[in-house]
């Protein structure tokens, strides 16, 4: 049977209202029929509403505080080939806002129509003072929709004041709450992670550059820095001076201003700053997704996938080069989209600043310059004459170069020559060590072309990779059939270049890479954008009449299941998510690939040793001194003083992270008294033997 029920409430003449109320019994009878049919699909509708509250809206409608039409819900009735009953609700909102007075609608009446679907009466904030027509119609296979938002609003309205509910459901407020929760999570967890292999050297790079800048601009600050730190190397004598220092300079300055100078507090602050920068990158990715998909929910999903990427989440606390560059590069891309909306000189300056900041971390930030110039020069002629377009383009290039030089003291002496040298060193960085790849120790200069793709595959959640391939395939299949004529097509072209261009450049130029694919982390946001695009494609197929809609629905459900599964794995691996492997068994990963190449687990190994041996001094041997020294810096001073580094077999303890030695150690190393595993992968072992004490840990003893 097919039918529809409509309730029309009008604030006009009171006699019309009374007439409608007199006919209440008729409405109740018809409603009971609808409720009987609706009961058959109650479980399915609840699943739809729950999934919708995870911010996915496959309907591709733009819902914000200014929308005037709200599609309450769509439910497909398919029980024994029963006919579909269609009902629809349309809210005619005064002034185009989702804000209504509470007096005009008796919500208990509306509950007869919506109660079985949402389990709650329509709240006061969704009551209308003007004419409101209600009808509910079965959906065409839609799995997510704005009806879930109404259901969520119904729940909130029972718990919170109506005005607060309206404020809470604004997209900007939801995004702000998510960002605030992410920052709070960073504050909660930033003390849990150890010190990475490069961290002390990166901090020293920032200190050297800051000291040089202070000598030129603020001599008093330079003198104070010299008295509060051990002798600071001259900029021209520092081997890594051509590494972009802008983030490390800021971290060093804040560490000087906000801490007591102890290394433990300095590096905890640095971890927090790295994570805050990562959070900004997550926000920028959400903005890019919103602009591409024209829906804030899909943009929020892009950010959520980045946070739910285990290796990125861990490295967001200590990797001040690759993760910080990824965040700033994403901010620069978001700045390009922001500039495109209204190209003004002020926005050009803001975008140039973001481009310069990214370049001052890694010179690959200059990759943003070309698409920006294309976007500026391609502005429509009537509104932007050729002269104005050239002026904006020239201003962008000039401000970007000026900002890059200003944030990189190494370039101050001879900017063109030094910048060219940094670009040249990018493709030929002299790293003379080996990398464990497919079970063999291969020199970094001889790694095969598939090193980066393989590492990307085994360290990215499987669902993300599969969806990204689907999204990229759909994009490439749609070219060149007029795709570049639309904004979405042009953005997809830029995202494809963002993702594939650096990968192809690495392969063609045979650039030296090592320690996984961290040097290309900045392409990961583009991969996630294609992953979300692939998910949207599955949703579109599942909603349609395509024969494969059930297959698409199953694939979509499996992909969505990846989020809680990955989150659970991240929680169990904490704080060692940096050794996450997506699908490899632990034994296979140990045998074929590098594990904790950052050496972070040494901190937990030292803490365990200090807690289980009360001796005033502990002599420790390690295969390489860096991780021992670095992780001692983040220990409390009294514990740090107990550690003695002994490079020979005279040490009582031997600690290893299995870098450059994936196989088991001989019994001569002693008895294994402690093991750290993450995701089943052994990442650190502590062996005990007897030996006399030796010398304290210090930077002078560190091998270089």
Query: Residue 481's pLDDT is what?
Result: 62
CA 384/CA 382 separation, integer angstroms: 6
Residue 282: partners with Cβ closer than 8 Å, 6 or more residues away: 179, 182, 303, 306, 307, 327
- Contact call for residues 320 and 199 (beta carbons, < 8 A): yes
- Checking if the pLDDT of 79 tops 90, the result is no
What mean pLDDT comes out for the span 123-131? 38
Averaged pLDDT of the chain: 81
- Proportion of the chain above pLDDT 90, given as a percent: 60
Tokens of 698: 């210090």
- Checking if the pLDDT of 144 tops 70, the result is no
Query: Residue 300's pLDDT is what?
Result: 95
Radius of gyration for the alpha carbons in the chain, expressed in angstroms and rounded: 30
- Proportion of the chain above pLDDT 70, given as a percent: 74
Neighbours of 259 (CB within 10 A): 16
Best-predicted range by mean pLDDT (218-232, 368-382, 631-645): 631-645
Query: Residue 153's pLDDT is what?
Result: 60
Query: Residue 154's pLDDT is what?
Result: 64
What mean pLDDT comes out for the span 31-42? 41
Owner of token pair 């009735």: 77
Query: Residue 192's pLDDT is what?
Result: 98
- What's this model's pTM, rounded to 2 decimal places? 0.78
Side-chain half-sphere exposure of 98, counting CA atoms within 13 A: 26
CA 310/CA 322 separation, integer angstroms: 15
- Give which of 597, 634, 512 is closest to 203, Cα–Cα: 634
Query: Residue 124's pLDDT is what?
Result: 40
Assign 485 a pLDDT band (cuts: 50, 70, 90).
Answer: confident
Comparing 27 with 528, which gets the higher pLDDT? Answer: 528
- Checking if the pLDDT of 105 tops 60, the result is no
Assign 465 a pLDDT band (cuts: 50, 70, 90).
Answer: very high
Query: Residue 89's pLDDT is what?
Result: 39
What are 443's strand-pairing partners?
434
Comparing 615 with 69, which gets the higher pLDDT? Answer: 615
Best-predicted range by mean pLDDT (65-74, 173-182, 496-505, 693-702): 496-505
Does residue 62 come out as left (phi exceeding 0), alpha (psi in the -120 to 50 range) or beta? beta
Query: Residue 684's pLDDT is what?
Result: 98
Q: What are phi and psi of 487, to 5 degrees?
A: -60, -45
Comparing 667 with 114, which gets the higher pLDDT? Answer: 667
Sheet holding 7-9, edge to edge: 7-9, 132-134, 89-90
- Checking if the pLDDT of 550 tops 70, the result is yes
- Checking if the pLDDT of 230 tops 70, the result is yes
- Checking if the pLDDT of 496 tops 60, the result is yes
CA 63/CA 209 separation, integer angstroms: 48
Assign 53 a pLDDT band (cuts: 50, 70, 90).
Answer: very low
In this predicted model, what pLDDT tens digit does every residue of 667-692 receive, in sequence order? 888 999 999 999 999 999 999 997 44
What mean pLDDT comes out for the span 332-354? 97
Assign 549 a pLDDT band (cuts: 50, 70, 90).
Answer: confident
Comparing 44 with 273, which gets the higher pLDDT? Answer: 273
Q: What are phi and psi of 315, to 5 degrees?
A: -70, -15
CA 320/CA 269 separation, integer angstroms: 12
Does residue 95 come out as left (phi exceeding 0), alpha (psi in the -120 to 50 range) or beta? left
Residue 485: partners with Cβ closer than 8 Å, 6 or more residues away: none
- Checking if the pLDDT of 494 tops 70, the result is yes
- Checking if the pLDDT of 97 tops 70, the result is no
Assign 156 a pLDDT band (cuts: 50, 70, 90).
Answer: low
What mean pLDDT comes out for the span 455-462? 98
In this predicted model, what pLDDT tens digit does every residue of 566-611 receive, in sequence order? 999 999 999 999 999 999 999 999 999 999 999 999 999 999 999 9
Query: Residue 40's pLDDT is what?
Result: 40
DSSP 198-246: THHHHHHHHHHHHHHHHHHH-HHHHHHHHHHSSPPPPGGG-TTTTS--H
Comparing 341 with 429, which gets the higher pLDDT? Answer: 341
Query: Residue 403's pLDDT is what?
Result: 98
Query: Residue 58's pLDDT is what?
Result: 39
- Checking if the pLDDT of 231 tops 50, the result is yes
- Checking if the pLDDT of 57 tops 80, the result is no
């Amino acid at each position: 049977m097919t039918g529809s029920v409509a309730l029309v409430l009008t604030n006009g003449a009171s006699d019309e209202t009374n007439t409608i109320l007199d006919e209440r019994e008729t409405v109740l009878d018809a409603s009971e029929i609808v409720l009987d049919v609706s009961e058959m699909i109650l479980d399915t509708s609840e699943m739809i509403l729950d999934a919708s509250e995870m911010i996915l809206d496959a309907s591709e409608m733009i819902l914000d505080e200014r929308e005037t039409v709200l599609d309450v819900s769509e439910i497909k009735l398919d029980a024994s080939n029963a006919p579909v009953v269609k009902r629809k609700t349309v809210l005619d909102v005064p002034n185009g806002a989702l804000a209504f007075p509470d007096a005009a609608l008796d919500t208990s009446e509306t509950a007869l129509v919506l109660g079985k679907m949402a389990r709650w009466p329509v709240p006061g904030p969704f009551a209308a003072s003007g004419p409101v027509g209600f009808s509910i119609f079965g959906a065409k296979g839609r799995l997510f929709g704005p009806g879930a938002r109404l259901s969520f609003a119904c729940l909130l309205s029972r718990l919170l004041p109506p005005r607060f509910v309206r404020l809470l459901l604004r997209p900007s407020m939801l995004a702000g709450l998510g960002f605030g929760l992410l920052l709070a999570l960073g504050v909660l967890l930033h003390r849990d992670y150890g010190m990475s292999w490069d961290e002390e050297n990166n901090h020293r790079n920032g200190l050297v550059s800051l000291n040089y800048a202070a000598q030129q601009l603020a001599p008093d600050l330079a003198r104070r820095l010299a008295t509060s730190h051990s002798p600071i190397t001259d900029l021209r004598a520092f081997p890594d001076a051509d590494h972009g220092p802008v983030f490390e300079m800021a971290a060093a300055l804040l560490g000087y201003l906000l801490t007591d100078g102890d290394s433990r507090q300095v590096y905890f602050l640095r971890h927090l700053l790295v994570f805050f920068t990562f959070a900004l990158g997550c926000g920028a990715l959400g903005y890019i997704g919103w602009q591409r998909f024209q829906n804030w929910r899909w943009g929020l999903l892009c950010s959520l996938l980045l946070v739910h990427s285990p290796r990125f989440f861990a490295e967001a606390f200590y990797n001040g080069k690759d993760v910080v560059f990824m965040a700033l590069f994403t901010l620069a891309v978001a700045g390009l989209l922001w500039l495109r909306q209204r190209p003004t000189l002020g926005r050009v300056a803001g975008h140039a600043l973001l481009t310069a900041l990214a370049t001052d971390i890694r010179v690959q930030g200059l990759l943003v310059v070309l698409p920006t110039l294309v976007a500026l020069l391609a502005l429509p002629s009537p509104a932007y004459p050729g002269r104005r377009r050239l002026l904006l383009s020239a201003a962008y290039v000039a401000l970007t170069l000026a900002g890059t030089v200003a944030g990189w003291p190494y370039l101050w002496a001879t900017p063109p020559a030094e910048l060219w040298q940094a670009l040249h060193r990018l493709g030929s960085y002299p790293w003379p060590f080996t990398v464990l790849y497919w079970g063999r120790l291969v020199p970094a200069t001889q790694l095969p072309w598939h090193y980066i793709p393989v590492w990307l595959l085994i360290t990215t959640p499987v669902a993300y990779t599969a969806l990204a391939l689907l999204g990229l395939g759909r994009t490439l299949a749609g070219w060149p059939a007029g795709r570049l004529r639309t904004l979405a097509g042009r953005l997809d072209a830029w995202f494809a270049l963002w993702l594939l261009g650096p990968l192809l450049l690495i392969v063609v130029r045979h650039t030296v890479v090592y320690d996984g694919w961290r040097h290309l982390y900045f392409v990961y946001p583009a991969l996630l954008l294609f992953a979300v695009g692939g998910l949207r494609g599955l949703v579109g197929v599942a909603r349609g009449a395509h024969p494969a809609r059930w297959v698409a629905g199953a694939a979509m459900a499996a992909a969505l299941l990846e989020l809680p599964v990955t989150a659970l794995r991240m929680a169990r691996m904490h704080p060692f998510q940096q050794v996450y492997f997506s699908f490899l068994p632990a034994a296979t990963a140990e045998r074929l690939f590098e594990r904790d190449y950052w050496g972070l687990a040494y901190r937990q190994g030292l803490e365990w040793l200090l807690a289980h041996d009360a001796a005033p001094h502990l002599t420790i041997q390690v295969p390489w001194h860096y991780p021992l020294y670095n992780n001692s810096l983040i220990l409390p001073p009294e514990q740090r003083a107990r550690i003695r580094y002994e490079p020979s077999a005279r040490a009582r303890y031997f600690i290893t992270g299995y870098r450059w030695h994936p196989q088991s150690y001989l019994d001569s190393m002693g008895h294994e008294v402690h093991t750290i595993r993450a995701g089943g992968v052994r990442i650190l072992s502590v062996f005990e033997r007897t030996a006399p004490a030796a010398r304290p840990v210090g930077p002078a003893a560190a091998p270089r």
